[in-house]
Amino acid sequence: MNKIITLCLVLVIQTGNCQQLEISALFPPQHDNTAATDTDIQVTFNAPVDTTSLAGQFVILGTLRGMYGFTVSVSPALDQVTLHPARPFLVGEEVKVTARNSLSGANGEAFPGYNWRFNVKPTKVTPPHFSEPLIFNDFFGDGNTAMYPADVNNDGHIDLVIANWANVLIALNDGMADFSLHQQFPVYYAEQADIPVTDLDLDGRMEIVTTHHIYEIDDSGYFQPVHDMPLRELRDVEDMNGDGYPDLISSDVVSIGPPEPIRNNVTILYNDASGQFSLADTLLTDDYITDAASGDFNNDGINDIAYSTSIYASPGGPGGRNSLTAIFMKSDGDTLHTRIYPGTLLNIISFPFQVLTVEYSNDHLLDVFIASLVNDLVIRSSGDGNFMIDSTIYIGGGDGYHRTSFADLNADGKMDYLIVDEIPGEFTGSVYYTLNAEGIGTFIEARNGAVPFHCVGADYNGDGALDVAALWSDGLRIYLNDTGLPIIPTEDFAAIFFDLDQNYPNPFNPATTIAFTLPQPATVQLDIFDLNGRLLTTIADGSFGAGRHEATWDGSTANGEPVASGMYFCRLSATVPSTGAGAVYTQTRKMLLMR
């Protein structure tokens, strides 16, 4: 009997020692958008932690500055750890923190690792107001495709890394938003859609990841190739296994049609702690993957992956599907489960081409943004491994290929939407933004004779407000966000070309507003058609002066009969009598009615 009792006591003690160490509270919270530049990072555990080499158990990595050094303090109970960064964060920076899986409890409890991220709020509140652009024509290239803001030379100023079909260009910032071409080196695969810049080996120096090489800055301030990286479809950079080192996510092509479909692998290439990637883990294979992004969708401290697929042309007709797929990961790198959301569920998407992760709905849950040729959507996370399809947020888009990003432009703690858009069939384009919860797009600049490729927000002149950098076909333009400067008036843009805005709201019920801009007085007709091309009603018909005008459609025909839910078209026809017989300009937008 005594032996049995003794054995039971030993088992109870061992069970207590082997419980899992877990995080019970974080500051700043997961996916917070309001962190201060001088914030400390506080982690509370469910049990005391092993304080041996504690500083080595955490990593702080900023998207603009790379690795942050820090000191550590611990509460008397050893269950709360505070990280004190050695320098302030940069405004607009996304900060990623890793509590490594090598951390353990004071009694030997295992810890699975935990990743979380937060955004640093701008210190200068602005409506916003954007200045006339600062123009840098040195950054002209054939097919500018991507741009990434980062302090590449560690001088405290936000520089720009630009990719085009031939080269990567390093644009150094003097701190006053004056950019100069510092270096360029070739790329070997055209149209690199992303150009990640981060500290892969955590040595305090930034690396640039291209499709064929990893470049690291040397002691003289120039980037040199240090590792080969034969990738064609690099999608994101994120710590996927809890060791604090950024890993790579790719969707390389494994088969090319026709007649077979284009097939892609979703693959994680794990960082070996030296900035090299020898271990590859293919999660799945799918048809025609167009983009992917990573983040923690269910707040379990493990980064997940979302990717989009698109229909494609084949000899037998279109194949594939418009869809968003979410891969939820476990701490050991295996797939926990996968959710597939067809385009038919996502308020109509078609040919999706860009996926981003962003905390847009202000609930500390990471959402997924998807851009397509029809709609741009924010798909809200429920936090439990699903997405709230019924709460999808339509935030804009265009009828052509465009690139987007997110930034808190007015310092209200909410992420706003930045977009560059090309008018289909014309060599013109625009840069504009939509403030979160406002839903009304505001132009920053519209131009004739050039098209924009990308835009990113960051504080380029160090005044605490987020500015906008736009990469155009003829060079780089910087728009400073300054409360002391007037907003560029809409009339300046109206003098350039006719334009029919996307209706707002969209989807809509029961009514929607449609705005159009005229460069000169014209006779205008604004018609509504159904999918069969049948004219339902005319909501504007007459003479209008130069400038911006609005009309409203209440979802009914000319006879006042309500129409059913579905896709409809609005067509602007503008005739300019001063051109002799009268030149006619037309433009059409798609609209979605959901009753």
CATH assignment of the domain containing 574:
2.60.40.4070
pLDDT for 325? 93
The whole-number average pLDDT for the span 24-31 is 96
What is the C-alpha to C-alpha distance for residues 266 and 289, in angstroms, rounded to an integer? 9
> In the β-sheet with 535-544, what is the strand arrangement from edge to edge?
535-544, 522-529, 566-576, 583-593
What is the C-alpha to C-alpha distance for residues 63 and 446, in angstroms, rounded to an integer? 29
Domain end among 85, 115, 145 = 115
- Whether cis (ω within 30° of 0) applies to the bond prior to 28 is yes
Q: Please report whether residue 386 resides in a domain.
A: yes
- 429 with 309, same domain: the answer is yes
Domains: count for the chain? 3
pTM attached to this predicted model? 0.81
Q: Please report whether residue 129 resides in a domain.
A: no
Mean pLDDT check: name the lowest of 87-101, 104-118, 371-385, 479-493. Answer: 479-493
φ/ψ region of 101 (left if φ > 0, alpha if ψ in -120 to 50, else beta) reads alpha
- 351 with 471, same domain: the answer is yes
Task: Determine what percent of the chain is predicted with pLDDT higher than 90.
Answer: 50
Q: Please report whether residue 121 resides in a domain.
A: no
- 92 with 144, same domain: the answer is no
- 442 with 316, same domain: the answer is yes
DSSP-derived letter for residue 424 is T
In the predicted model, is pLDDT for residue 23 greater than 80?
Answer: yes
The whole-number average pLDDT for the span 453-480 is 94
- 522 with 570, same domain: the answer is yes
> In the β-sheet with 213-217, what is the strand arrangement from edge to edge?
197-198, 207-209, 213-217, 223-228
Domain end among 488, 518, 533 = 488
Mean pLDDT check: name the lowest of 91-105, 258-272, 391-405. Answer: 391-405
- 252 with 341, same domain: the answer is yes
Q: Please report whether residue 120 resides in a domain.
A: no
In the predicted model, is pLDDT for residue 313 greater than 70?
Answer: no
- 304 with 435, same domain: the answer is yes
In the predicted model, is pLDDT for residue 176 greater than 80?
Answer: yes
275 closest CA partner among 171, 352, 341, 203: 203
- 582 with 474, same domain: the answer is no
Q: Which CATH number characterizes residue 32's domain?
A: 2.60.40.1220
- pLDDT, the chain, mean: 84
Q: Which CATH number characterizes residue 283's domain?
A: 2.130.10.10
Q: Please report whether residue 493 resides in a domain.
A: no
Q: Give the structural domain span for 537.
A: 499-593
Identify whether the C-beta of residue 462 lies closer than 8 Å to the C-beta of residue 128: no
In this prediction, residue 361 has a pLDDT band, given cuts at 50, 70 and 90, of confident
In the predicted model, is pLDDT for residue 241 greater than 80?
Answer: yes
- 381 with 447, same domain: the answer is yes
Q: Phi, psi at residue 137, to the nearest 5°?
A: -85, -5
Q: What's the distance, CA 528 to chain centroid? A: 33
Higher-pLDDT residue of 312 and 152 is 152
- 508 with 451, same domain: the answer is no
In this prediction, residue 557 has a pLDDT band, given cuts at 50, 70 and 90, of very high
Q: Please report whether residue 19 resides in a domain.
A: yes
- 174 with 107, same domain: the answer is no
Q: Please report whether residue 269 resides in a domain.
A: yes
Q: Is 476 helix (H, G, I), strand (E, B) or coil?
A: strand
- 17 with 163, same domain: the answer is no
pLDDT for 484? 57
In this prediction, residue 231 has a pLDDT band, given cuts at 50, 70 and 90, of low
Domain end among 488, 512, 546 = 488
